[in-house]
A and B are shown apart, each in its own frame.
Chain A
């Protein structure tokens, strides 16, 4: 059970404020909004993975009763609207830059929300029908006649990189948008020559669907008097999304108001603009009524941004004592049909050596287009993939050379005295107790007691295995954030900030900060986010930036409030501000309380004898650009039992120690870890956006085929928080949202391979389905039917 909160200050497991509306059905998700006179949109989606659009005939659709308008990309062009811009790289200064090896610029092309030339994935929106009711809109959508000329397609990552693969973009000579190198080839080559052991892996981290439980939705409104659009939608963004919407709608940013209320999950795949957001706004202008669009789950699965999809070939060189010497290899990430985001080979490379001492490394990184739904960062973007590869390499070399898996890791973990440590890709890790955290996880997971549990399981006919995996995460994201605090005479505080909660509980944890720093009662803090009419700066929620940056700007703004208050109190008491103290919401003088924060706010509002700058509302702002990255890290231990007759795998124990630097709300942090683990386990065991290579169809196109983790495949988790202060954050905080997922793929697969080692199994591809495990046990090819055949082929990635 949870430790009960004893106050509402920093560090306390305070139950969440936002729960009250969410458990009573009063949440405000995008589809919950209905505007007067609203019409409904339905999308006509491509049945082809790749085809030329010869013509679009809307006559029959327009004849359907209730249909108001049918819009295609041709109308979009006629209205002089713009394509959706893509921002392919993170340009955060702490991030590893990626540059094409041949010096040419990376290929990047904007996308039309409705294409006019070709369709490039099954499920791409091609036309939009607007009608009086959703049923009429769908009836109309069925009557839109599109003449397609099907073209050859390519869906699988490695295949798409081939020079002769069907091309996604005529504008570019191949599907490879970036072909970069990282690390030092020469040093790596020298190190490999000295290796006593070399572990190799060739693997594919398959594509999965982020699958927030809330399907995408957007409601658009247009005011012809002011020329202003309002868009209500679900997103992890506010201001960047508004900027993108303004670009597409071809209006100044001030002519777009964006409102994000409750969001039913994001996990990154809802972090960027999606086509339907500008489309409903445009449609609202065209039909003169608000327009609402809500996707169905089968639409979500084919047309949401998807995640992962990285093919990796990697080697690890180790000396005779087990010291890591170098690693090398090649990563190919699948962008899908858009040049949306190269994160999977940027974040998904720069920490490939994890928190181990790695003297040299050299990798090739490519991102390729394919005829599949576009991919975007998904829960810990890129890092779970490469941490999985690193942790598999370590277990592989341990197995080959007879090293103990725990000792080998401990030997190579960067020690505290070596920090800050620059990894071979140039990333500088700040601080931490990597060894201590791993030792604690191994102890908490009772590694030493495993042999007895394995023996007991054997009596029941089950094969038990244990795995361990360390991880590190690079948290960057949009570096600028702003908070504005206003203290009211009744003692309430409003916090306006540019982050958006997608379920992370900002209303609670940010209120804890205010309670700690300003002494304002938790219940008297109100968080205001997600409305660009109120929020003018900020970067939304991604890359562990909500609390990491939110805390900094709220802290500085709180200090400004206190300083301002001290000046006011000093003036009123005829003392110097330096003689005024502040504690627990009270200004003090000579050790005793003299005025409360609320009283100061009241005085500033009421008194006319204060200097101009101290009159009016008691408010303060902090707008800061934080160019430091955060480096959360930790260790997971997982135990599985396998039924060798059928290949069923059961996760029986999962133990984590995650260093969050400083925990604001442990209840929320543990919850993040639980959910993160489940998403990792889901990918390791179940989930897969399976594209049929011959047709380009997504076969896992509904929850009837896309296997989501359910309660019965998971155990209770043992999660522990470590707090070694971060040195890149003024308050010592590290992000806490992605630690559950980042090492989960690796630790689960390591445990499964350990359980199967008695059968000579040395590797499992994901998802490790019962059939795959069953095949592995019997020495049959694992990948049959599940993975595109081409991964079996000897395609050199290097």
Chain B
């Protein structure tokens, strides 16, 4: 790890000031992706601005038809939260399947979506539920947030403060587990909302994406069988030593069905 100067502001304002003052500063949330990258010397920053003491960013609540989760809320807290389990049980399932229990004790929702790892679980829920990402500057629609591989719409000095998840009629998450890293080789978030069905796919492309064919079929008939005739073109999907594009293409459909079945079982 290259050395850096560590900061632990206690307010959002201080954090913004610190991260804006240095061009090579980086925000640190749970650190579950950032610290391994730093340890492997894959990245280098002059300053790390740790958000752990900014208590306003942690915790969640239901507000009407929205579930609001603070950016620094840990995966374990989301997984165990009665409020989340009542409002969007699939989100609790998703959070409870990220990494491993020790990672979930540290990793945060804000960190996960800001990092925009193409194989991370959370981005699928942001896109699949049509969530809104709240920052210190603005509100960003889920559909606009993820712009590419490890890339988001966030600007320099912009900090995610919370994610607003609209509460769907029902939702499900199903994941093809990476055998080593526990990331998603393929993860599918399906949500049935008053505005229609949304299906988001993580792990299979350079960034999370929506699965339009499935959405259309599920809008007509929200059941696993509705996807029987759907197939996915492997072209352009991720391919690595653990799963070829072809297998991922197959898994997208299978796990979409499993996510639908999970949504219907609640």
Closest to A692 in B: B241
Q: A708, B239: Cβ atoms under 8 Å?
A: no
Q: Does any Cβ of A come within 8 Å of B250's Cβ?
A: yes
Picked from A135, A770, A785, the residue with its CB within 8 Å of the CB of B241 is: A785
Q: In residues 664-709 of chain A, which contact B (Cβ within 8 Å)?
A: 686, 688, 690, 699-700, 702-708
Measured between alpha carbons, how far is A142 from B44 in the docked complex, in Å? 13
Measured between alpha carbons, how far is A645 from B40 in the docked complex, in Å? 37
Q: Does any Cβ of A come within 8 Å of B3's Cβ?
A: yes
**Hey, which chain B residues are within 8 Å of A702, CB to CB?**
40
Q: In residues 636-660 of chain A, which contact B (Cβ within 8 Å)?
A: 645-646
A513 to chain B, nearest CB (A): 41
Measured between alpha carbons, how far is A447 from B241 in the docked complex, in Å? 36
Q: Does any Cβ of B come within 8 Å of A319's Cβ?
A: no
Q: Does any Cβ of B come within 8 Å of A429's Cβ?
A: no
Known: A771-B244, A785-B241. A135 touches B3 (CB 8 A): yes
Q: A705, B180: Cβ atoms under 8 Å?
A: yes
Measured between alpha carbons, how far is A142 from B42 in the docked complex, in Å? 12
Q: B181, A705: Cβ atoms under 8 Å?
A: yes
**Hey, which chain B residues are within 8 Å of A142, CB to CB?**
41
Q: Does any Cβ of B come within 8 Å of A298's Cβ?
A: yes
Q: Does any Cβ of A come within 8 Å of B236's Cβ?
A: no
Q: Does any Cβ of B come within 8 Å of A608's Cβ?
A: no
Q: Does any Cβ of A come within 8 Å of B21's Cβ?
A: no
Q: A771, B243: Cβ atoms under 8 Å?
A: yes
Q: B241, A690: Cβ atoms under 8 Å?
A: yes
Picked from A645, A708, A770, A775, the residue with its CB within 8 Å of the CB of B180 is: A708
Q: A784, B244: Cβ atoms under 8 Å?
A: yes
Q: B239, A785: Cβ atoms under 8 Å?
A: yes
Q: Does any Cβ of B come within 8 Å of A427's Cβ?
A: no
Q: B179, A774: Cβ atoms under 8 Å?
A: no
Q: Does any Cβ of B come within 8 Å of A595's Cβ?
A: no
Known: A700-B241, A774-B247. A646 touches B180 (CB 8 A): no
Q: A686, B179: Cβ atoms under 8 Å?
A: yes
**Hey, which chain B residues are within 8 Å of A769, CB to CB?**
179, 242
Q: B179, A298: Cβ atoms under 8 Å?
A: no
**Hey, which chain B residues are within 8 Å of A646, CB to CB?**
176, 250-251, 254
Q: A298, B40: Cβ atoms under 8 Å?
A: yes
Q: Does any Cβ of A come within 8 Å of B1's Cβ?
A: yes
Q: B250, A774: Cβ atoms under 8 Å?
A: yes
Q: B247, A771: Cβ atoms under 8 Å?
A: yes
**Hey, which chain A residues are within 8 Å of B241, CB to CB?**
688, 690, 699-700, 705, 785-786
Q: In residues 210-266 of chain B, which contact A (Cβ within 8 Å)?
A: 239, 241-244, 247, 250-251, 254
**Hey, which chain B residues are within 8 Å of A786, CB to CB?**
241
Closest to B183 in A: A704
Known: A645-B254, A785-B241. A707 touches B180 (CB 8 A): yes
Main secondary structure of the interface of B (DSSP, over half): loop
Closest to B181 in A: A704
Q: A744-786 interface mask toward B, CB cutoff 8 Å, 1 = contact, 0 = none?
A: 0000000000000000000000000111001100000000111
Q: A704, B179: Cβ atoms under 8 Å?
A: no
**Hey, which chain A residues are within 8 Å of B179, CB to CB?**
686, 707, 769
Known: A690-B241, A785-B244. A706 touches B254 (CB 8 A): no
Most buried by A among B239, B242, B251: B242
Measured between alpha carbons, how far is A771 from B247 in the docked complex, in Å? 6
**Hey, which chain A residues are within 8 Å of B180, CB to CB?**
686, 700, 703-708
Most buried by B among A138, A700, A785: A785
Most buried by A among B3, B40, B41, B179: B179
**Hey, which chain A residues are within 8 Å of B244, CB to CB?**
771, 784-785
Measured between alpha carbons, how far is A645 from B255 in the docked complex, in Å? 10
Q: A699-730 interface mask toward B, CB cutoff 8 Å, 1 = contact, 0 = none?
A: 11011111110000000000000000000000
Q: B3-34 interface mask toward A, CB cutoff 8 Å, 1 = contact, 0 = none?
A: 10000000000000000000000000000000
Measured between alpha carbons, how far is A770 from B180 in the docked complex, in Å? 13
Measured between alpha carbons, how far is A645 from B254 in the docked complex, in Å? 8
A528 to chain B, nearest CB (A): 38
Measured between alpha carbons, how far is A593 from B247 in the docked complex, in Å? 76
Closest to A138 in B: B41
**Hey, which chain A residues are within 8 Å of B251, CB to CB?**
646
Q: In residues 604-661 of chain A, which contact B (Cβ within 8 Å)?
A: 645-646
Q: A137-179 interface mask toward B, CB cutoff 8 Å, 1 = contact, 0 = none?
A: 0110010000000000000000000000000000000000000
Measured between alpha carbons, how far is A707 from B247 in the docked complex, in Å? 18
B151 to chain A, nearest CB (A): 21
**Hey, which chain B residues are within 8 Å of A703, CB to CB?**
180-181
Q: In residues 36-84 of chain B, which contact A (Cβ within 8 Å)?
A: 40-41
**Hey, which chain A residues are within 8 Å of B254, CB to CB?**
645-646
Measured between alpha carbons, how far is A645 from B251 in the docked complex, in Å? 9
Measured between alpha carbons, how far is A774 from B241 in the docked complex, in Å? 15
Q: In residues 113-150 of chain A, which contact B (Cβ within 8 Å)?
A: 135, 138-139, 142
Most buried by A among B2, B3, B176, B241: B241
Closest to B248 in A: A771
**Hey, which chain B residues are within 8 Å of A686, CB to CB?**
179-180
Measured between alpha carbons, how far is A785 from B241 in the docked complex, in Å? 7
Measured between alpha carbons, how far is A298 from B41 in the docked complex, in Å? 12
Q: B136-177 interface mask toward A, CB cutoff 8 Å, 1 = contact, 0 = none?
A: 000000000000000000000000000000000000000010
Q: A135, B243: Cβ atoms under 8 Å?
A: no
Most buried by A among B176, B180, B243, B250: B180
Measured between alpha carbons, how far is A515 from B160 in the docked complex, in Å? 66
**Hey, which chain B residues are within 8 Å of A707, CB to CB?**
179-180, 242
A367 to chain B, nearest CB (A): 26
**Hey, which chain B residues are within 8 Å of A785, CB to CB?**
239, 241, 244
Q: In residues 296-326 of chain A, which contact B (Cβ within 8 Å)?
A: 298
A–B Cβ pairs within 8 angstroms, 23 of them: A135-B3, A138-B41, A142-B41, A645-B254, A646-B254, A686-B179, A686-B180, A690-B241, A699-B241, A703-B181, A704-B180, A705-B181, A705-B241, A705-B242, A706-B180, A708-B180, A771-B242, A771-B243, A774-B247, A774-B250, A775-B247, A785-B239, A785-B244
The 3 closest A-B CB pairs, nearest first, are: A707-B179, A707-B180, A704-B181
Interface of A toward B, CB cutoff 8 Å: 135, 138-139, 142, 298, 645-646, 686, 688, 690, 699-700, 702-708, 769-771, 774-775, 784-786
Given contacts A688-B241, A703-B181, A705-B181, 9 further A-B contacts (CB under 8 A): A135-B1, A142-B41, A700-B180, A704-B180, A706-B180, A707-B179, A785-B239, A785-B241, A786-B241
